[in-house]
Amino acid sequence: MADSKALERRGYSLGDTLGEGSYGKIKSAYSSKWKTHVAIKIINKRKVPALILDKFLPRELEIAASLKHRNILQIFEIIEERRGKVYVVTELCEGGDLMDLIMSRGALAEEPCRRLFRQLCHAVRYLHDRDLVHRDLKCENLLLDKDHNLRVADFGFSRRLAYEAGRVVLSETFCGSGVYAAPEVLQNVPYDPKASDVWSTGVVLYIMLFALMPYDDSNLMNMVRTQLAHYVPFPSEASVSPEVRELMAIYVSGIFFVYMST
């Protein structure tokens, strides 16, 4: 009720709950100001752990609000209330997330995979060109609009790159989800966050193509050994073009990292 009143004063009429997390929820709404339906992420700062509240949340809000790209979730405004609530108003992605699509339809054909993957690469390139990294790219953080165009969302682990003596300062924080993580992240050694983002896009592509995880993350040490062997476990029944097989081989060999980082 308090959220409804606070947002009504700013021209928002709350609708259904779209999702809930440990310290917030996402609701649909109609904005009389923007004349469109929107999504509002409601964050209760009193429930947010101190590390996230002091470090990651301010960084997320600052970075997300600075972005303007057709394949990155658009933020209309951020409202901070004295009573400890933050309202992040974004465009409404009516197509759900990419994992929802894969779970309902199964593996996607190569042509829609190609289109979505291209959009993901455009968004990642936009971030990297601005010395920004996402560090939590996964199917659940890739939203779809009503026309199934992709939007990168959830910048909770994002950061701006720093440089020392002309070199990128490596990340040391374990970010993201295990199955999407590059081997150096899983090994808990300093890593190039741009290369880590690129690795995650390869995992997303694999999941789109086969509706399967590329690695078994129940044993992370075995998973790292498989990754370091530059092995791509194609399903036996998979029917994909030679170009796809070549692209996946390039990903796990690390060659593609050089292209995306230059």
Annotated binding site for ATP: 41
pLDDT given at position 260: 42
Rounded Cα gap, residues 163 and 174, in angstroms? 20
The pLDDT assigned to 1 comes to: 64
Residue 41 within a domain: yes
Same domain, 204 and 247: yes
pLDDT of 262? 39
Q: Which of the residues 3, 136, 192, 197 is marked catalytic?
A: 136
Whether residue 17 sits in one domain with residue 63:
yes
* Boundary residue ending a domain (72, 91, 110): 91
Other Cβ atoms less than 10 A from the Cβ of 153: the count is 22
Rounded to two decimals, the pTM is 0.92
Segments forming the whole domain that contains residue 46:
9-91
| 104/206 same-domain check | yes
Q: What pLDDT tens digit does each residue of the chain (262 aa) get?
A: 688 888 999 999 999 999 988 888 999 999 999 999 999 999 999 999 998 999 999 999 999 999 999 999 999 999 998 888 999 999 999 999 999 999 999 999 999 999 999 999 999 999 999 999 999 999 999 999 999 999 999 999 999 999 999 999 999 988 888 899 999 999 999 999 999 999 999 999 999 999 999 988 899 899 999 888 888 788 877 788 888 888 887 877 764 444 344 3
Which of 41, 65, 91 lies at the terminal end of a domain, its last residue? 91
Known binding residues are 41
Question: Are 111 and 201 found together in one domain?
Answer: yes
| Summary count for the chain: helices (H), strands (E) | 10, 11
In the beta sheet, which residues pair with residue 85? 44
User: Residue 204 and residue 211: Cα distance in Å, rounded?
Assistant: 10
Does the active-site annotation cover 136? yes
Q: State how far the Cα of 243 lies from the Cα of 205, in Å rounded to an integer.
A: 13
Q: What is the pLDDT of residue 254?
A: 60
Whichever domain contains 242, its CATH number is: 1.10.510.10
